[in-house]
Chains A and B, each alone.
Chain A
């Protein structure tokens, strides 16, 4: 398929061959083996949040309320550090090496969390478990984008990101058994909670170790022969099952040279000078969804208990309809991101979420809702907002060159986590501290306004990446030239 042109350049059809594959068992296995991370993260955060009160009891670790909050921050810090550290390694050493080591780190650290015997050991293991999950986000988003055919990339990515909420539902459901002292002793239940994720992860390990390295990554790192061999292996898997694969036209070939390690200065230059508009879009999409989620999740218990008289003990059950709306949105709307296109769908879901949040806030402010109608409206908002939030991850994973894909994902993930985990909670914590309807409405309007602003930014600066090869969307740094049918994006886009 490929032939050497010169000692340092290579002509290859690897990306085009990957993109022309039909959906098959290989892709399904890939999605299950890699996509499990989002389920684990949702499970992890929900369980950790649920066991907070239990860990304050003397029979357990006897933490203070502040230490419970600090444990959540430690996990978040671990995620940020892990994403940045393993993201860099993932671009340098390969997707495969990293998506296995990060799963290993998560399994070990979370498994050991279950055996924590004091505060500091608990914090250390939570930090490393967070590092594992943060690293997974960077390595796996890159691998999925590079291994899934272009026309399936959008809805696959969205569906996988949406499964975070499946994990949240599992976590919320498990706490009714694990944290019930009538069923399990108080010092055992929380420990089993931290073992659920590693057990699921261990089950997926066997599947994951059989996944190949991304042929695109191999190609750009001077390992063209391995890239060709990997694609041949994948194609053989299809032809053995009776699939007939169409030929790939030679006009879609890439000419590449081996890429060198990309330094931090060069990465900053690519993000802020070569692709400044895409960087702005990345910030806008991620930060705005952080505010929207905080606007509701930080306030819903207070709104339900203080304004609608729902008992505090049952308010937690409302997580289930929320999670269901969040899970359903990306699954049902995802296909449209590949058919209608990224620009209209991303902008549309952001705008609809923002407008619905503003309307809901207004109806809340004039006291026109009940607990039931309020919950229904929140679920509808989440249906669109979850697809929107997932599309933010999709966007930053596909609009930058392959050589810094994982690092770009890690960079945006870190910024979003800090905004979503530090800035937005502080803003909404201040607003709800007053318990005033008018101020809560202001909070909702802030979230809504940011979502609509992000929609406008996406419409103006966004990249139409639907059904386009990754190499079309962002020229690899190692590309010499393309003879493909699609013109590459020009710098400054």
Chain B
């Protein structure tokens, strides 16, 4: 029982961090992570209330979506995959380009 609670607490903490980051980043891998967490949550709390095949599929698909989402996220920032090349200084750490709402006023805009 205590182990179960510990597992739920740890899983929830990780999920909150990932969901927070996904809400901020909003890229396709973010949605994969969210989907993975959602499917895993369904599988974890279903506890026999879902048909067995559906529960089994959820247990396989959930971690898969989460892992692919996490891998894609790191590959973007660490290796420049999925359009990350232009963000990376040679040999340096990638920096996120500012979104349209974060870029501040256009210095050329004289209106």
Contact = CB atoms under 8 A, between A and B. Distances in A.
B92 interface: yes
A104 B71 contact: yes
A212 B91 contact: yes
Counting contact residues on chain A (CB < 8 A from B), the size range is: 20 to 34
Given A97-B80, A97-B81, A112-B67, A104 B91 contact: no
Contacts of B78: 100, 205, 208-209
Contacts of B98: none
B36 to A, nearest CB: 13
B91 A108 contact: no
B81 A101 contact: yes
Nearest to B68: A108
Given A96-B80, A97-B80, A97-B81, A211 B91 contact: yes
Contact of B75 (A101, A211, A233, A234): A101
A199 interface: no
Interface string A201-225: 0000100111111000000000000
Given A104-B71, A108-B67, A112-B67, A96 B79 contact: yes
Contacts of B71: 104-105, 108
B74 A104 contact: yes
Given A100-B75, A209-B79, A234 B67 contact: no
B91 A210 contact: yes
B27 interface: no
Contacts of A229: 90
A210 B67 contact: no
B91 A233 contact: yes
A230 interface: yes
A101 B89 CA distance: 19
Nearest to B77: A209
B79 A97 contact: yes
A226 interface: yes
A211 B79 CA distance: 10
A211 B67 CA distance: 24
Given A101-B75, A209-B79, A226 B90 contact: yes
B75 A104 contact: yes
Contacts of A205: 74, 78
Contacts of B74: 104, 205
Contacts of A97: 79-81
* Highest count of chain A CB atoms <10 Å: which of B74, B80, B89, B90: B90
* Highest count of chain A CB atoms <10 Å: which of B74, B91, B92: B91
Nearest to A213: B90
A205 B79 CA distance: 11
Contacts of B93: 209-210
A244 to B, nearest CB: 21
A234 B91 contact: yes
Nearest to A94: B80
B14 to A, nearest CB: 15
Interface in B47-102: 63, 67, 71, 74-75, 78-81, 89-93
Contacts of A100: 75, 78-79, 81
A97 B76 CA distance: 9
A229 B90 CA distance: 7
Contacts of A104: 71, 74-75
A229 B92 CA distance: 12
A24 to B, nearest CB: 14
Nearest to A223: B85
Contacts of B89: 233
A159 to B, nearest CB: 23
Contacts of A208: 78
B33 to A, nearest CB: 14
A215 to B, nearest CB: 9
Contacts of A210: 91-93
A209 B79 CA distance: 7
A189 to B, nearest CB: 20
* Highest count of chain B CB atoms <10 Å: which of A100, A205, A208, A226: A100
Contacts of B92: 210, 233
A361 B91 CA distance: 52
Given A100-B78, A209-B78, 15 more contacts: A96-B80, A97-B79, A97-B80, A97-B81, A100-B75, A101-B79, A101-B81, A104-B74, A108-B67, A108-B71, A209-B79, A210-B92, A213-B90, A226-B90, A233-B89
Which 6 pairs from chain A and chain B are nearest by CB? A100-B79, A209-B78, A212-B91, A230-B90, A233-B90, A229-B90
13 contacts: A96-B79, A97-B79, A97-B80, A100-B79, A101-B79, A101-B81, A104-B71, A104-B75, A108-B71, A112-B67, A211-B91, A212-B90, A230-B90
Interface of B: 63, 67, 71, 74-75, 78-81, 89-93
